[in-house]
Amino acid sequence: MLPYTRRELLGLLGSAALAKGRSQPNILYIMADDHAAHAISAYGSRINQTPNIDRLAHSGVRLANCFCTNSICTPSRAAILTGQYSHKNGVYTLDDRLDPKRNHVAKELQSAGYQTAMIGKWHLASDPTGFDYWNILPGQGVYHDPVFLTSVSRRQYTGYCTDLIGDFTLDWLKQRDPKKPFFAMCHHKAPHRPWEPSAKYKDLFAGRDIPEPDNLFDHYEGRARSVAAVTMKVGEDMNKADIKRDFPPDLKGDALRKWAYQIFIKDYLRCIQSVDDNVGRLLDYLDAEGLASNTIVIYTSDQGFFLGDHGWFDKRLMYEESLRMPFLMRYPGAIRPGTVNRDMVLNIDFAPMFLDYAGVRAPAEMQGRSFRANLEGHSPPDWRKAMYYRYWMHNTSDHHVPAHYGVRNDRWKLIYYYGKPLGMTGANPPDTTPDWELFDVRHDPREMHNLYHDPKYTRVVAQMKLLLDKLQEEAGDKPV
Ligand SMILES: [Ca+2]
């Protein structure tokens, strides 16, 4: 008998290789903006095909339960970089900026010898730090002929934003120092609102209907009053920039929702098709240069999105479609092709995982945990069984989503809408009525039945409240 198991031996060999500086892997992190998992064919999409993104699922791992900790652009990006919840990294809302002095994963990788780049949508208000090169959109940026900012220039380009971000990422990869590992963050603007496709895909899906979600005509019976009141209904809460034509004056209610859904979802999916093309360009480059075997490639999104689910567009709520992030990762040799992992992984875990692969110890202030072992088929027995979530932007003008926090395990989700604008910057919106929701996510994954007020679930509610208290305290957050 060998004194080591095969896995331990491989681990030792891997450590030895790292110690000799041979195999710090390259990391290519591709992130879209608002790309819901259920618009990726590897996730079983009923509405589109994403052949290039699917290449990562076929040759690597697909996470089935990857969740964000605050489902909105700027805070999720900060959580990914810092490995911290919003209440720790100070980026609670769209109006907050990432303190440039704050430590994050790119700074750690840079110190460990990586060359680092940030290309595309940054959306953290301050200029990027920790990157040798950055070329970013100002704020949200625009789809057509966008302006990009570097540390020394501001320049408008002719072309389509998604293709330009692909071009700039390839340009940077081509001029990098091949003797040093790289960490490149390629952040697409697409498929964020207002969903403007490229000319190449403007007629995709013409002449056919996209299947509707089964709860497109949800009228929110039994749900929290402040949830029923959110203004993100397809059709009713859209504007002319979303629809790109006049609203038919005779259409109201469900008929308007049905009409607007087709227009919205087609443009959304057309935007995704360009993202998929550009994922393919990067994968082809890695193949052609012989870099595929020593490069970790990730595809994810800063959060999920409602695709007409519950009749909504947008995100923010702790509901499944918004909470869930797609996450696909390829690393040949370490991750078995076609793996599906069902562990609960959070966006604050990404930074510790990258550092783990780079042979860097995650700094103590990072709250996430590396899921390298999970990806490689050896989930630790003490891996988390539940997660804590908090959305801070209370009842602001655009979508009137109430601030809330909650917990989710593999069976139940408890959400508390506390009704106050706590932790908000620069706004003073009115309070809303506090309310609770409890969902059985195993038997009611579409979250149509709020069980909180049903006396049959009193015990479940009590248990989930204890879990909420526990996870909130562990995350270093405080109850309202
Ligand atoms: Ca987003």
Question: What CATH number has the domain bearing residue 292?
Answer: 3.40.720.10
Count of domains forming the chain: 1
Question: Ligand 1 mean position to 146 CA, how many Å?
Answer: 18
Question: Ligand 1 mean position to 179 CA, how many Å?
Answer: 34
Half-sphere exposure of 15 (CA within 13 A, CB side): 5
Question: Ligand 1 mean position to 36 CA, how many Å?
Answer: 10
Question: Ligand 1 mean position to 331 CA, how many Å?
Answer: 26
pLDDT beyond 70 at 321: yes
Residue 426: what pLDDT?
76
Question: Ligand 1 mean position to 115 CA, how many Å?
Answer: 26
List, for residues 174-220, the tens digit of each pLDDT value. 999 999 999 999 999 999 999 999 999 999 999 999 999 999 999 99
Integer-rounded Cα Rg, in Å, for the chain is: 22
Residue 428: what pLDDT?
84
pLDDT band at 397 (very low <50, low <70, confident <90, very high): confident
- CA 4 vs. chain centroid, Å, equals 39
**How many residues are given for the chain?**
480
Question: Ligand 1 mean position to 304 CA, how many Å?
Answer: 8
Question: Ligand 1 mean position to 72 CA, how many Å?
Answer: 5
pTM: 0.95
- Domain interval for residue 174: 25-200+259-384
Question: Ligand 1 mean position to 301 CA, how many Å?
Answer: 7
Q: Which helix (H) or strand (E) holds 283?
A: helix 253-288
Question: Ligand 1 mean position to 429 CA, how many Å?
Answer: 22
Question: Ligand 1 mean position to 80 CA, how many Å?
Answer: 12
Strands (E) across 139-204 are located at 147-149, 154-156, 182-187
Q: List, as ranges, residues with CB under 5 A of the ion ligand 1.
A: 33-34, 73, 302
Asked whether residue 311 is domain-assigned, the answer is: yes
Residue 424: what pLDDT?
84
pLDDT beyond 90 at 23: no
pLDDT beyond 50 at 19: no
Q: 281: exposed, middle or buried (C-beta count within 10 Å: 0-12, 13-18, 19+)?
A: middle
Question: Ligand 1 mean position to 286 CA, how many Å?
Answer: 27
Residue 18: what pLDDT?
44
pLDDT band at 3 (very low <50, low <70, confident <90, very high): very low
Asked whether residue 158 is domain-assigned, the answer is: yes
Residue 396: what pLDDT?
87
Residue 1: what pLDDT?
38
Residue 450: what pLDDT?
98
Question: Ligand 1 mean position to 25 CA, how many Å?
Answer: 28
Question: Ligand 1 mean position to 290 CA, how many Å?
Answer: 33
List, for residues 331-375, the tens digit of each pLDDT value. 999 999 999 999 999 999 999 999 999 999 999 999 999 999 999
- Two tokens, residue 171: 């340009």
Mean pLDDT is lowest, of 110-124, 215-229, 242-256, 421-435, for 421-435
Asked whether residue 81 is domain-assigned, the answer is: yes
pLDDT beyond 60 at 8: no
Tell me the pLDDT of the chain averaged across its residues.
Answer: 95
Asked whether residue 431 is domain-assigned, the answer is: no
Residue 129: what pLDDT?
98
Could you say which DSSP state residue 271 is in? H
pLDDT beyond 80 at 2: no
Work out the number of other CB atoms within 10 angstroms of the CB of residue 117: 23
Question: Ligand 1 mean position to 75 CA, how many Å?
Answer: 9
